[in-house]
Structure formats: C-alpha cells, structure tokens
Amino acid sequence: MKASTPARCTTGRHDHTPMSSLRQEANTQGVTSAPPADAVLDAARTEFERHGMRRANMDAIARRAGVSRRTLYRRFPTKEALFEHLIEAECLLIFGQLAVAANGQDAQGAIVECFTLAMRLITENRLAGTIIENEPELVIGLNTPSGDKAIVRASALVATSLRHSGVTMPDEAVLAVSEILVRLVGSLLTNRAGVLDITDTVAVRRYAQTYLARMVW
C-alpha cells in the first residue's frame, strides 16, 4: 500500500464541499458521537475492508457514518474520490511513522528502518490486505490512469524522510532512489513469488541491509 503540506500518496482530493457540512448534518441528526469527518472515513474504511473498492456501496457508507446519501455525495462525488481520500489519509499516517523511524538514523540506517517498518505496517493493514488480494492494480496506483501521480507523490515523501536522515546525495539521486523503493514495495506487495517473505520482519530487515542500504550515502 500514498506514506509537503505533505505530498499525497494517491491522486488529488475532491474538495467540492467543506467537511463542515458533514458536521452540521451529524449534529442535527444526533446519530454519531464521533467527529463527522472521522465517522465518514471510519465507515468507508470498514466498507472497503470488507468489500474492496469496486464492490463497496456508498449507501452503506452513508448509513454507517450517520449522514445522508446526498451529503456524502456532495463531499465525495464518486466512490473513487472517497477511496482516494481514505488511502491518502492512511498513507500519511504510515509516512508519519516512517519519518519517526528515520529520525536519528544515518542514510543507510534510515533505508533499513523505513523499509522494514513500511512492509510490516502495510502487510498488517486489513484494508491494504483486501486491496492487494482483490484489486492489486490499485496499489500505489499501479496500472491506473492516476498511477504516475501516485508514484511521484509517494516518492517525494520517501525522499523527504531520507533527507531528514542526512543523506549527502544530490536531490536528483535521492528522488531516483526513492522512486525505486516505492516501485519495489509495490511489486513485492502485489507479487509475492520470490526469495523474500515480506511477512518475515527479520528477513525483510536482512534484505534491506544487504541490498538496499548501499543505494544511499
């Protein structure tokens, strides 16, 4: 499974209606105690975890979130827009954790820690698991019209984490390495036939130390 006003790890948001409209409706109906924006994302996460993106139902999301179908569609005109927004939020959480992991590391240590943590976070994420199993082409936008933007944004976030670790490489080289890492993660997640068991944290760390750390300086 993106994790600038951080660069987004998926395609752009669809900011047609402020989230305040969701707040106002939820407050009026009194149907949810959670913040409305969070309630919508929580409902969407549950629906996408259970059914994937294509089979998910917007009406079910609206009911679970406690908002009307009209309000939900005003904020997210399509199911794809809501999915992108949710994945962006999930990616930013992951990249936030990667930034913490990279803090205080040298460049090679940052690669090892971030790659190991990223693989663990993604493989343990239920939403990512559903998408990888049923709609692998959606991982990092692979093979989709928005894929180029997704890879650029994810690469920019990785590059930011690497720069914080004190790499001395030129910016162009940092971006190139970051893109390689993003594409590698996408490939490992969607095709697990190979020498690396991505669910084995020890093996993932050894792989990063042996093959990836030498890519940066």
Residues with Cβ within 8 Å of 191's Cβ and at least 6 positions away in sequence, in order, are none
Predicted pLDDT at 142: 53
Question: In 3D, which of 101, 100, 71, 76 has the Cα closest to residue 87?
Answer: 76
Res. 144 pLDDT band, cuts 50 70 90: low
Residue 184 tokens read as 């590698």
Q: Say if domain 20-77 classifies as CATH 1.10.3720.10.
A: no
Q: What is the pTM of this model?
A: 0.78
- pLDDT over 80 at 190, yes or no: yes
How far apart CA 28 and CA 38 sit, in angstroms, is 17
* Whether the Cβ atoms of residue 199 and residue 122 lie closer than 8 Å to each other: no
pLDDT for 42 beyond 90: yes
pLDDT tens readout for residues 77-110: 999 999 999 998 998 999 999 989 988 899 999 9
Q: Taking 50 as the threshold, does the pLDDT of residue 32 lie above it?
A: no
> How is the chain split into domains, by residue range?
20-77, 86-215
Rg (CA), the chain: 18
pLDDT at 149: 81
